[in-house]
């Protein structure tokens, strides 16, 4: 890798996976910690003035964007300002910016998969914030890649998967939508995709723009939950699980969560050669890691 890579949010679950997978291919990242609780405009200005990397992967607010069940709107507004400053700095210094986003920029009203050319229409504050950040990056930093992903599953205790497994371990009834669809994406698979993009960019391929990635085989929340329960029982003795199918409209988060969040991945395959992998194949290793580390 000729490019010098900087990773904001290296301590996040996706950041750690990206660092580990990069090390397997002798790809290293500068992964500075923020001087305070999180990155802000001033600290980023100083950082990029001092380091001048060739590319930045922005996972600075990964947890809020992909794992948090509810994010305060004022915090999202501050994050948008930080991303805006980062985009300005990347343009000024000639740095490539890889900015993550998600299926949440769509309203989920259509049953067919969303492509990159489909018009975003977010439902809730998080989806709107992610779309605002996308627009800022496009406007201020032409040398960018925006990567929208499906449902990211990681091994953190307080992530989407961790919250589900804690309920399973305590024997709570599990109400799961049987008509909400999306693409589960194990965190290691997302890290693989980011590395594939970076390797192409390292070859000076000007493949800027917005791309979708979702693991192979879209599914429902109910089917995903049933699969996670079955895999978890292979690793741990767990109490009986009462799984209750629920309509999307009856879910507490129905107003903000797209009912249909399936992403079409043809563009990333044709441009970067990234083939979707089956999410089921990545689930056993992810659960094993959670029980060995995340649950401790």
Domain of 20, CATH number, reads: 3.40.50.720
Looking at the domain assignment, is residue 141 inside a domain?
yes
Identify whether 146 is part of a domain.
Answer: yes
Q: What is the pLDDT of residue 294?
A: 52
Q: Which residue do the tokens 């010098």 mark?
A: 4
Structural tokens at position 67: 């794992």
**293 has a pLDDT exceeding 90:** no
Confidence of residue 296 (pLDDT cuts 50, 70, 90): very low
The pair phi, psi for residue 244, each rounded to 5°, is: -115, 110
Nearest to 102 by CA among 260, 213, 225: 213
Over residues 48-104, the pLDDT tens digits come to 999 999 999 999 999 999 999 889 999 999 999 999 999 999 999 999 999 999 999
Beta strands 181-182 and 219-220: pairing type?
antiparallel
Residue 58, pLDDT score: 98
Taking a C-beta distance cutoff of 8 angstroms, is the pair 55, 98 a contact? Answer: yes
Asked if residues 102 and 150 have their Cβ atoms less than 8 Å apart, the reply is: yes
Q: Buried b / exposed e across 173-186, counting CB within 10 Å, b at 16+?
A: ebbbbbbbbbbbbb
Q: Which residues pair with 210 in a beta bridge?
A: 146
Taking residue 257's Cβ as centre, other Cβ atoms within 10 Å add up to 21
β-pair partners for 30: 6
Q: What is the mean pLDDT of residues 282-292?
A: 94
Comparing CA positions, the residue from 55, 52, 87 lying closest to residue 197 is: 55
Tell whether 247 is covered by a domain. Answer: no
Contact 229, 161 (CB under 8 A): no
Let me know if residue 296 belongs to a domain. no
Alpha carbons 201 and 145: distance in angstroms, whole number: 10
Q: Using 50, 70 and 90 to split pLDDT, how confident is the model at 170?
A: very high
pLDDT surpassing 50 at residue 131: yes
Give the H/E segment covering residue 245.
strand 243-246
Tell the residue number behind the tokens 């990211």, with chain if given.
Answer: 152
Does 242 map to a domain?
A: no
Report pLDDT for 224: 97
What confidence tens digit (pLDDT) does each residue in 110-125 have? Answer: 999 999 999 999 999 9
Domain that residue 130 falls in: 5-156+184-216+262-277
Mean pLDDT value across residues 261-272: 97
pLDDT of residue 36: 84
pLDDT for 173-206, tens place per residue? 999 999 999 999 999 999 999 999 999 999 988 8
In a domain, 252, yes or no: no
Please, what is the average pLDDT of the chain?
95
pTM: 0.96
Number of domains in the chain: 1
């Amino acid at each position: 890798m000729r490019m010098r890579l900087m990773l904001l949010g290296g301590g996040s679950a996706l950041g750690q996976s990206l660092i580990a997978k990069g090390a397997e291919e002798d790809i290293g990242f500068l992964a500075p910690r923020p001087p305070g609780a999180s990155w802000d405009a001033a600290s980023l200005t100083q950082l990029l003035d001092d380091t001048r990397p060739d590319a930045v992967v922005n996972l600075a607010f990964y947890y809020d964007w992909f794992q948090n069940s509810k994010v305060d709107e004022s915090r999202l507004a501050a994050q948008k300002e930080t991303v805006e400053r980062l985009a300005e700095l990347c343009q000024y210094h000639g740095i490539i910016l890889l900015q993550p986003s998600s299926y949440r920029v769509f309203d989920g009203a259509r049953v067919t998969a969303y492509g990159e050319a489909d018009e975003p229409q977010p439902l809730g504050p998080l989806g709107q914030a992610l779309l605002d950040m996308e627009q800022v990056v496009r406007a201020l930093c032409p040398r960018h890649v925006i990567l929208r992903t499906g449902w990211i599953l990681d091994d953190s205790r307080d992530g989407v998967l961790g919250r589900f497994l804690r309920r399973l371990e305590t024997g709570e009834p599990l109400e799961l939508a049987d008509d909400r669809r999306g693409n589960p994406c194990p965190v290691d698979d997302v890290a693989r995709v980011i590395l594939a993009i970076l390797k192409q960019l390292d070859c000076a391929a000007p493949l800027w723009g917005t791309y979708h990635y979702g693991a192979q085989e879209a599914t429902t929340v109910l089917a995903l939950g049933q699969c996670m329960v079955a895999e978890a029982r292979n690793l741990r003795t767990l109490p009986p699980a009462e799984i209750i199918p629920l309509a999307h409209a009856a879910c507490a988060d129905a107003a903000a969560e797209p009912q249909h969040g399936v992403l079409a991945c043809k563009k990333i395959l044709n441009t970067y050669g990234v083939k979707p992998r089956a999410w089921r194949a990545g689930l056993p290793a992810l659960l094993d890691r959670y029980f060995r580390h995340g649950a401790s």
